[in-house]
């Protein structure tokens, strides 16, 4: 269980707040892209980037020339949001989404140790497409020099989850309007080969069989 702080305690709809590690880890492990918020000279920025969780550390991938990569040691707010459905209520005010989100607050640390950096980048590839690392060419010196890996400890963390049916005002339940949930899932399509690919090279099994994690949280009523 992550300890709640003034910064992670939910102010709105606190009943949807979740602080146990299992839930937070499940959200982080299913997502691919996070949004990182930080401030440079009074100007707020929010940028999307790839990430991976390794134990109690979140590794962020970026460029050494980006605003984030140039400023290790900054305070950041990292968010991951997964949309599981559209909630259609009888009243416009009560429309919503089925969602699972996680917020991580902390200070970034530039990963300078070559072994830790290599392990983080390997984990990032495996996080997105398990099995891919065994086939691809690893980064060379110039590529690794251009790649920034930042670590954020999972210390100040919270999650927020919305599940269950629409929640209309009592008097609206009698309205002759369809209400319910439209589930949304991420489903891969047919792999599209590179036009310059040797046609003798088959689609790898880990690509053909790729599927997104589907945690039990989606089925939890609330």
Top pLDDT among 168 and 13 is at: 168
Integer CA distances (angstroms), 96 to 83, 152, 163, 181, in order:
11, 31, 10, 9
Average pLDDT of the segment spanning 63-90: 89
Could you tell me the pLDDT band of residue 70, with boundaries at 50, 70 and 90?
A: low
Average pLDDT of the segment spanning 92-112: 96
Q: pLDDT tens across 181-205, in order? A: 999 998 999 999 999 999 999 999 9
Instruction: Specify the pLDDT at position 5.
Output: 85
Residue 63 has pLDDT above 90, yes or no: no
Instruction: Specify the pLDDT at position 217.
Output: 43
Residue 44 has pLDDT above 90, yes or no: yes
Q: Which of 62-66, 79-83, 170-174, 211-215 has the lowest mean pLDDT?
A: 211-215
- Separation of alpha carbons 135 and 220, rounded Å: 38
Percent of the chain whose pLDDT exceeds 70: 95
Do residues 52 and 111 make contact, with C-beta atoms less than 8 angstroms apart? no
Percent of the chain whose pLDDT exceeds 90: 74
Q: Which of 46-55, 110-119, 183-192, 209-218 has the lowest mean pLDDT?
A: 209-218
* Secondary structure of the chain as H, E, C letters: CCCCCCCCCCCCCHHHEECCHHHHHHHHHHCCEEEEEEEECCEEEEEEEEEEEECCEEEEEEECCCCCCCCCCCEEEEEEEEEEEEEECCCHHHCEEEEEEEEEEEECEECCCHHHHHHHHHHHHHHHCCCCCCCCCCCCHHHHHCEEEEEEECCEEEEEEECCCCCCCHHHHHCCCCCEEEECCCCCCCCCCCCCCCCCCCCCHHHHCCCCCCCHHHHCCC
Could you tell me the pLDDT band of residue 209, with boundaries at 50, 70 and 90?
A: very high
Mean pLDDT taken over the chain: 90
Instruction: Specify the pLDDT at position 215.
Output: 52
Average pLDDT of the segment spanning 48-66: 92
Instruction: Specify the pLDDT at position 7.
Output: 87
Residue 53 has pLDDT above 90, yes or no: yes
Kindly report whether the global pTM for this prediction surpasses the value 0.85.
yes
The superfamily CATH assigns to domain 14-216 is Electron Transport, Fmn-binding Protein; Chain A (2.30.110.10)
Could you tell me the pLDDT band of residue 219, with boundaries at 50, 70 and 90?
A: very low
């Amino acid at each position: 269980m992550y300890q709640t702080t003034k910064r992670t305690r939910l102010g709105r709809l606190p009943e949807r707040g979740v602080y146990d590690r299992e839930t937070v880890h499940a959200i982080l492990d299913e997502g691919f892209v996070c949004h990182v918020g930080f401030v440079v000279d009074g100007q707020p920025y929010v940028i999307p980037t790839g990430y991976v969780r390794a134990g109690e550390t979140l590794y962020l991938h970026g460029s050494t020339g980006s605003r984030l990569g140039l400023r290790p040691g900054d305070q950041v707010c990292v968010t991951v949001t997964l949309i599981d459905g559209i909630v259609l209520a009888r009243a416009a005010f009560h429309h919503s989404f089925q969602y699972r989100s996680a917020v991580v607050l902390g200070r970034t640390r530039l990963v300078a140790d070559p072994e830790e950096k290599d392990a983080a980048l390997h984990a990032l590839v495996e996080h997105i497409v398990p099995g891919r690392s065994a086939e691809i060419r690893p980064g060379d010196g110039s590529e690794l020099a251009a790649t920034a890996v930042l670590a954020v400890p999972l210390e100040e963390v919270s999650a927020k989850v919305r599940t269950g049916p629409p929640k209309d005002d009592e008097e609206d339940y009698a309205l002759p309007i369809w209400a319910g949930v439209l589930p949304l899932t991420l489903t891969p399509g047919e792999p599209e080969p590179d036009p310059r690919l040797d046609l003798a090279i088959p689609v790898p099994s880990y690509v053909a069989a790729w599927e997104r994690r589907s945690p039990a949280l989606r089925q939890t009523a609330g």
